[in-house]
Structure 1
Amino acid sequence: MKEGEGVTAYFGRVMTVANEMRGFGEDMTEVKVVEKVLRSLTTWAFFVECTQADKPVNFAEFDEGKKEWFTSLDEGFKHTVKLGNDLKLNVKGIGDVKLVVDGITQVITRVYYVPDLTSSLLSIGQLLEKNLTVVFKRGRCSIYHPQRGTIMRSRMTENRMFVIQANVKELEQICLKTDEEENQIWHKRLGHVNYKSLRTMQYKHMVNGLPKVAEPTKLCEVCNLGKQQRERGKRYVMVLIDDYSRKGWVYLLSKKSEALDKFKKIKLKVENETGLSIKSLRSDRGGEFISKEFNEFCESSGIRRQLTTAYTPQQNGVAERRNKTLMNMVRCLLIEKQMPKWFWPEAVNWACHITNRCATASLVDKVPEEIWSGQRPSVVHCKIFGCIGYAHVPVQLRSKLDNRSVKCIFVGISSESKAFRMYDPDAKKIIISKDVVFEEGDRWDWSVNEFGTDTFVVLDMDEIQGNVQQNNEGIFMETQSEVTQHGEMSGARDGDGAQ
């Protein structure tokens, strides 16, 4: 690098040479080009104050001389680092640092504690090794994460340094996203599933997108309230379970006589997906399951019936246990964000979706969805039920001066498209949208405008195809059915149902 030459001009010369070498068949990857640029920079370019922003990540090592910045520090770790001027410094520890940039807190991992270092240094090479993208352009440095986009930006100063202004003192005044809070968020996102299942799912990589979860230090108040109460009433939902994979489905009914129609739908669905036939159906002796029409359909379809004896629910234990799991989760989902009870249909559907992606004692190292589909599911799309989200309004539905988003409540995901189901309390309708910005810590203030509704109007923001009505006052089916690929199907009956 020439004396007095700027980084931009020098980088342009390097790229010209790199392109010529590629023309001669040399393997000049972007990583190699950046490494060559960094090696040839003068000494001043290696002293850069740095930090990180947004969420806790595990992607790079930093050199840090301020011991008080560490939230955790292993002083037993010993190492040495070499600066650009060949100066070697002793590393006397490694740990985590929490910094604030523009009001956003970041937990940075694998930070080297170097007492003799006066400035914080960022290893660009390690950023590249972790598949991050570093771009130097027009006096700016930007670091991009492959999933979250831009996570850090900095302008070049007069002395040709890229400095990130971080404020550690703000950490005492803001609410940090600690490991405990991260645990609670995923506990809430997955319907207050127990922490043992969360740790098992993460440790054995049963789903994608789930971070490491630690043992909680305090009890979850929502779990204590939701899992110790018993809802009463006469509302019903039909739950069917595949005995082999433990994957479940739920169908909302307006009356028990609809059970046969729903069973016909699930029969067609599972047989199309698996190429197998239902061999056996296990259920209790509820009138909807022993009717003449139901028996004739099973007989014509070659389905063997298995009915439990009176007052012996343990003969249908799988379905009984699933009924309890779903109801516990539904109560927790409604309590968490203080949602009105008339949201129970949405909560039931979301609880079923979550349960299919959570560990169960009957399966080894896999979740029901993976057993059923053969593909490991992801939980990245999971949000806290009832949290606030801002759904984008397409240009077709707004004028130039209208708001570009609408404040809604997350109530699940769409079964027809890859999008979220968002409830608009002001318009009293369900919005299907894939462009949503979530605030999982916020909830709707129902004390201001709590109301019930007999129907939800469903508006698909992507297709703009009009309104579709969805019944919200179904009944909570006291029976469940369990479908199996290998020929077993069972059902259970919950005496009181849910409210």
Structure 2
Amino acid sequence: MKVNFTKSECLVTNDKDEVLMKGVRSKDNCYLWVPQESTYSSTCLMTKEDEVKLWHQKLGHLNLKGMKRIISKEAIRGLPKLKIEEGNVCGECQIGKQTKMSHPKLQHLTTSKVLELLHMDLMEPMQVEGFGGKRYVFVVVDDFSRFTWVNFIKEELATFYVFKYLCQRLQREKENVIVRIRSDHGRTKVMMESINVVIDDSSVDRVTNVEEDVGTSLQQTDVTEDVIDKESNIESGGIDYEDSQANKG
């Protein structure tokens, strides 16, 4: 491919001296590419911007109905007679018209007792490991009392077993049962509709040998010690706001 410049034009030719593109020189020494009907110029290199869209943007994204009125009354000097067709949609205008429904803050609690609803969230692994190589943070919040437990876990697979131990202990201490649990990342609906967590003394026999179950299912993940040592995972991470306020008083 060759590019030849002259005083009046610029020609782009191939190895066979066929003209592919032609540019006309302007007063400011710029070359404007013009289509050549007699050549096999590629149309993929040519673009044509819609004048209606350009004027729509210049006028601050004025609606098409308003543009028609301006053109008919010749209210703007220099505005050409544009042919505005119905159905033209501006993407920026559509995005600007979208609104987000706000969720009003509730003035009252939706729960009437502790352990009726628990919120839980497993935070992503931290870059800096804690003591014992623990990188995950598992947070459980009671909706009624705002009682919060923070558990530091080494492996993600141990979250379920830590939560089971926590549920057992809470129901014994509070003498109440857990009714609902809620989590994030799209799992809220599934849990709210299909899971009713009730872990009382009658279920102790199902989790008495958790050490054996964990050792069997999680032996390769090296998280057995984290699940068995439930006191270090649960009690050391618990934050009781009620007790802290009482101590301050």
Would you call these one fold, judging by a TM-score over 0.5?
no
Higher strand share: 1
Higher helix share: 2
